[in-house]
Amino acid sequence: MYPHATCCLEDILLMKFVVITKDPIVEDAAREGFHPSDECRVIEDWSEALDMAYDADLLFVDLLATLQDPHKIAGYEEFAAAKMSHRKAKDTPLVLISPPDDYDLDFMVGWPNFVLGHVRRPVDYKIFRRASTWV
């Protein structure tokens, strides 16, 4: 019908998601939520994840996975500074996974245009499925 239309499955651009979490429930939800043909990398160490995120469509970060000391926001601040200055990952859109409502932090911080989206716990596969449509 259209001689220039030679699209096949290999030609379709698939999506890539990187999820930073130490929570097995969040990991399971991410693996279940994204389309099976998409790439989903789940990693605990945010510094390694930043290197992986250079070509990702979305980077999800579980705020709790960034904390060095429980309830102290300084770990998240360190992550944020590293992401904003990372030559590969600085332009990758970020989705923040918040701590549980009853989890107390010493304070909260934010930067203009740093977070594309914010999801609250409890996290299930539907949240990741919806978030994959944001890009």
Q: Is residue 111 part of a domain?
A: yes
CA nearest to 92, candidates 64, 62, 51 = 51
90: domain CATH number is 3.40.50.2300
Domains held by the chain: number: 1
Provide the residue range defining the domain that includes 125. 9-131
Over residues 16-23, mean pLDDT: 97
* CA–CA distance, 95 with 115 (Å, rounded to integer): 6
Structure confidence by residue, pLDDT tens digits, 49-83: 999 998 999 999 999 999 999 999 999 999 999 99
The pLDDT assigned to 135 comes to: 86
pTM over 0.85: yes
* CA–CA distance, 82 with 122 (Å, rounded to integer): 27
Q: Is residue 54 part of a domain?
A: yes
Cis peptide before 122 (omega within 30 of 0): yes
Pairing relationship of beta strands 58-62 and 94-97 according to DSSP bridges: parallel
Q: Is residue 3 part of a domain?
A: no
Q: Counting beta carbons within 10 angstroms of the beta carbon of residue 30, is it exposed (0 to 12), middle (13 to 18) or buried (19 or more)?
A: buried
Q: Is residue 104 part of a domain?
A: yes
